[in-house]
A and B are shown apart, each in its own frame.
Chain A
Amino acid sequence: MSLIEALPIALLGALLGLDVVSFPQAMISRPIVAATLAGAFIGHPPAGLLIGVVLELIALDTLPFGASRYPEWGSAGVVGGALFAAQPPGMPGALPASLLAALLTASVSGWSMVVLRRVIAGRLERTRDSIETGSRDALLSLHLSGMTLDLLRAALVTMVGMIVFSPLVRAIVAIWGSESAPSRAVVVVIAAIVAGGALWKVFHSIRRVVWLFLGGLLASTLLLVMG
Chain B
Amino acid sequence: MTNPTTPEFSLPFRVKAAMYLRLLALQGSWNYETLLGTGIGFVMEPALRYLPGGVDGPRYRAALARESRYFNAHPYLAGIAVGALTRAELDGVDPVRIERFRTALAGPLGSVGDRLVWASWLPFCSLVALCVYGAGGSPVEVVGTFLLLYNVGHFLLRAWGLRTGLSRGLNVASALGNPVLRQGPHYIGSAAAVVAGLALPLALQRVVGPGRVLAGGIIVAALLGILLLARLHERAEGWRIALGVLAIFVLYSVLT
Check A212/B25 contact, CB under 8 A, given A93-B253, A188-B218, A224-B201: no
Interchain Cβ contacts within 8 Å, total number: 325
In-complex Cβ contact of A139 among B45, B134, B150 (8 A)? B45
A24 touching B246, Cβ below 8 Å: no
A148 to B164, CA, bound (A): 31
Determine whether the beta carbon of A40 is less than 8 Å from that of B230.
no
Q: Which residue of A lies closest to B35 (CB)?
A: A67
- Number of A residues with CB within 8 Å of any CB on chain B: 109
Interface residues of B in 153-203 (CB under 8 A from A): 154, 186, 189-190, 192-203
Contacts known (A124-B33, A133-B61, A136-B45); A220 close to B202, Cβ less than 8 A: yes
Known: A117-B30, A193-B226. 9 other contacts (CB 8 A): A25-B76, A32-B133, A32-B143, A104-B243, A131-B38, A139-B64, A187-B246, A192-B204, A199-B123
The residue of chain B having its C-beta at the shortest distance from the C-beta of A114 within the complex is B32
Contact A58 B28 (CB under 8 A): no
B197 adjacent to A100 (CB under 8 Å): no
Q: Is B212 an interface residue (CB 8 A)?
A: yes
Does A15 touch B at the CB level, under 8 Å? no
Q: Are A221 and B123 in contact (CB-based, < 8 A)?
A: no
- Is A196's CB under 8 angstroms from B222's CB? yes
Question: Are B189 and A203 interface neighbours, CB within 8 A?
Answer: yes
In whole Å, how far is A151's beta carbon from the nearest beta carbon of chain B?
Answer: 10
Q: Give A1-40 as 1s and 0s: 1 = Cβ < 8 Å from B's Cβ atoms.
A: 0000000000000000000011111111010110011011
Q: With A124-B38, A206-B193 known to touch, is A196 a contact of B242 (CB < 8 Å)?
A: no
Q: Answer yes or no: B9 CB below 8 A from chain A CBs.
A: no
Is the Cβ of A175 less than 8 Å from the Cβ of B193?
no
> Separation in Å of the A86 CB from the closest CB of chain B?
16
Q: Which of B11-19, B80-88, B95-103, B232-240 contacts A (4 or more CB under 8 A)?
A: B232-240
Contacts of A58 in B (CB 8 A): 238-239, 242
| Chain A hits for B130, CB < 8 A | 32, 53, 56-57
Q: Is B79 an interface residue (CB 8 A)?
A: no
Of listed B45, B68, B197, B247, residue having the most chain A CB within 10 A: B197
**Is A191 part of the binding interface, using a Cβ–Cβ cutoff of 8 Å?**
yes
| Nearest-neighbor residue (CB-CB) of B202 within chain A | A220
Q: Which residues of B lie under 8 Å from residue A57 when comparing CB positions?
A: 130, 200, 203
Known: A25-B27, A124-B38, A147-B25. A134 touches B65 (CB 8 A): yes
Give A11 Cβ to nearest chain B Cβ, in Å. Answer: 19
18 contacts between A and B (CB under 8 A): A23-B24, A48-B139, A53-B206, A58-B239, A63-B123, A96-B249, A100-B250, A118-B31, A136-B64, A178-B256, A185-B218, A197-B225, A197-B229, A197-B238, A200-B229, A216-B198, A220-B200, A224-B201
Please tell me which one of the listed residues B33, B61, B192 contacts residue A203 in the complex, with CB atoms under 8 A apart.
B192
**Contacting B28 at CB < 8 Å: which of A64, A103, A146, A206?**
A146
Chain A residues in 8 Å Cβ range of B221: 189, 193
What is the 8 Å Cβ interface bit string for chain A, positions 166-198, against chain B (1 contact, 0 not)?
000000100111100101111111111111111
Contact with A along B30-57 (1 / 0, CB 8 A): 1111110011011001000000000100
| C-alpha spacing A66/B36, complex, angstroms | 10
Which one of A62, A189, A216 contacts B237 once the chains associate, using CB atoms below 8 Å? A62
Does residue B1 face the partner (Cβ distance < 8 Å to A)? no
Q: Bound complex: CA of A141 vs CA of B96, how far in Å? A: 28
Q: Are B246 and A217 closer than 8 Å at their CB atoms? A: no
Contact of B229 among A97, A196, A207 (CB under 8 A): A196
B252 → chain A closest CB, angstroms = 8
Known: A62-B237, A134-B62. A97 touches B193 (CB 8 A): no
Interface contact A216-B218, CB-CB below 8 Å: no
Q: A103-B239, A143-B38 are in contact. Are A192 and B226 (CB under 8 A)?
A: yes
Residues of chain B within 8 A (CB-CB) of A187 are: 207, 246
Interface pair A190/B246, CB less than 8 Å apart = yes
Tell me whether A140 and B42 are in contact in the complex, defined as CB-CB below 8 angstroms, given that A22-B25, A58-B239 are known contacts. yes
Q: Does A163 lie at the interface of the complex (its beta carbon under 8 Å from any beta carbon of B)?
A: no
Q: Provide the bound-state CA to CA distance between A206 and B254, in Å.
A: 44
Cβ contacts B206-220/A at 8 Å (1 or 0 each): 111100111101100
